[in-house]
Every structure is written in C-alpha cells, then in structure tokens.
Amino acid sequence: MPPSPKYYAKYETRRRDPNPRAAALLVIDVQGHFASLAAPAMPAIARTVALCRAAGMPVIYTRHVDPVPRRAPLDEWWPGDRIDAGTPAAELLPGAGRRAPGDLVVEKSTYSAFHGTGMEEALRGAGVEEVVVVGVMTNLCCETTARDAFVRGFRVFFSADATATVSRDLHEATLANLAYGFAYIVDCNRLEAALGKAAN
C-alpha cells in the first residue's frame, strides 16, 4: 500500500541500508484469509522477495493459524473471525514471491511472529542481525513483529510499499510510529539501490 508522498518524512530522521550478509526477509501472513487486503501490495511483496533472494538473504514466511479454542484477548477482538488449519484461509498465497525449498515457514497464533514460534532462535542460529518486514496487516502483525524484533535486539527495516492494511490512515500511522522509534523505512526502489550497492 503506497503511502502518501513522504507522509512519514518528518519522523524519518535516521537512514541506513540493510546489510544483506546479516539480514533476513520476513514475509508476514500473506495467506488466503488476507488475499483482498494483500492484493494492492502483492507486486511489491513479490519484487521484495526477488530482490532479497537475489542478494542471498534468507526468506521466512509466516502464516497465522488460530488454535482451538482461541485464547483471549484475540477472541474478544475478532469473534467469529477465525483462520483454521487446513483451510484455504491458512494457506500462503502463490503470488507472494517465488518459494524456495529452504524457506522457513513459521506458524503463529498471535500478532507477533516471535511469540512462541522459535523464530528468534532460527534467526540467531543463522547469524541474522537485521530483518526486513513485509506483508499484512501493516498495523497489526507486521507492526507488532517489527516492534518485537527491535526489543529483541534486531535492526529493523520496514517496507512502505510491500505492506498493506484496511485503510491508508492506519498504514501511515504505523509508518510514522516505526520511523520515529523502531525501524528504518524502505520501499522496493530503496531496497534495490541498497542491495545493489552492497553487491558492488
């Protein structure tokens, strides 16, 4: 979901390029349940996956699956809105970049992709120090994962054009908040330039 031109610019006081030798791409919840929400960002998601894979970065996909019974407070916020294992809603969308045999797929049951999933251990084991976050929803699972990565000591890069949510104001609020204190904001063009520079 492309933001309004430089909406978050006044909060973007820090700039940095990701280091592909120390970074991983996290593709958050690009699955059937969110297909319509993800649609505007799918070309940018696929492009980001291709750029990061070409730079040698590991790509990790997450998918949200609700346990039975679903624990509070998620059940209070989203009553009746479940994602059950084994249904099309839980399956990753084919347009979310080309999958490779070594890609890790992490199953999660709350907003953060780190909570109870073992993903931090997998990243540490691979020597990852930085994460690039793309996917849906910008202001829920993507933002919570980005904030959680930051407090766990990872350097965070967050995509402005390869994330999407239900409205522009929620999308832009996340970008402003993360730019202010949690993440370096990137987009496909900025990533392409940065990763190309790192390869030279």
pLDDT beyond 70 at 1: no
Instruction: For residue 179, give its domain range.
Output: 21-199
The residue ranking higher by pLDDT, 38 or 71, is 38
Q: For residue 1, tell me if it sits in a domain.
A: no
Measured between alpha carbons, how far is 112 from 144 in angstroms, rounded to an integer? 5
Q: To which H or E segment does residue 143 belong?
A: helix 143-151
Q: For residue 52, tell me if it sits in a domain.
A: yes
Q: For residue 3, tell me if it sits in a domain.
A: no
Q: From the candidates 52, 141, 142, 188, which is the catalytic residue?
A: 141
State the average pLDDT for the chain: 93
Measured between alpha carbons, how far is 49 from 25 in angstroms, rounded to an integer? 7
Q: For residue 8, tell me if it sits in a domain.
A: no
Q: Is 148 helix (H, G, I), strand (E, B) or coil?
A: helix
Number of domains the chain is built from: 1
pLDDT at site 33: 96
pLDDT tens-digit readout, 141-164: 999 999 999 999 999 999 999 999
Mean pLDDT of 177-188: 96
Q: For residue 7, tell me if it sits in a domain.
A: no
Measured between alpha carbons, how far is 25 from 157 in angstroms, rounded to an integer? 9
pLDDT at site 2: 57
Q: Which CATH number characterizes residue 71's domain?
A: 3.40.50.850
Q: For residue 5, tell me if it sits in a domain.
A: no
pLDDT tens-digit readout, 16-29: 999 999 999 999 99
141 catalytic? Reply is yes
